[in-house]
Structure formats: structure tokens, C-alpha cells
Amino acid sequence: ATLGKLRTIFTSLRQNIPQGFRFAGTAAKAGGSGIGLLAFAQQNPFAFQVGVSTVKTSVADMITQCAIEGKKPSEIDWKRNGVFIVF
């Protein structure tokens, strides 16, 4: 029963993926004018990875400040977060 529910959930999620995300990978591989995040990642791997690491580092610092240091989101030290992003 649980496996059936998971299959139903994943099928529903797969069907609701926006068009640009769903087919961008095949369009980029085929040399087409793929649009979306996957096409950008395939065509610009270095720039995409820089963006991913920047966002990941920023979010990790925000989680640290809120979860470990006990700050509220309005109390986040943005200067410190910026230093993490640049470093």
C-alpha cells in the first residue's frame, strides 16, 4: 500500500513538472534551443555550478544563524552572509 502511494505521488509530481524543465535536457543534448534550468546547466556548467554553490553557501549560513545560533530571520547578519558568499 505504501509503495503504491509513493508511486502515485511521484507520478503526479512528474506530470506537473513545467515544460521547460521536463524537456530541456533532451533539447540541449540534441543541439536544439532548449530552455530552462537543465539546458542552461548543460550549456554553461561552470556558471551554473558557481550559482549553485553561492546559493547553497548562503542558505547554509542562514540555517546556521537561525537553527544553531537561535536568531530570528529578521536578525540574520547579512554582512556575515555576504562574506560567506564572496569567500
At 16-38, the pLDDT tens digits run 766 655 554 444 454 555 568 88
Q: Other CB atoms closer than 10 Å to residue 66's CB: what's the count?
A: 14
CB contact at 8 A, 36 and 20? yes
- Collapsing DSSP to helix, strand or coil, 77 comes out as coil
pLDDT value at residue 47: 94
Q: pTM of the predicted model, to two decimals?
A: 0.56
Residue 36 DSSP one-character state = S
pLDDT of residue 28: 46
pLDDT tens digit sequence for 33-77: 556 888 899 999 999 999 999 999 999 999 999 999 999 999 999
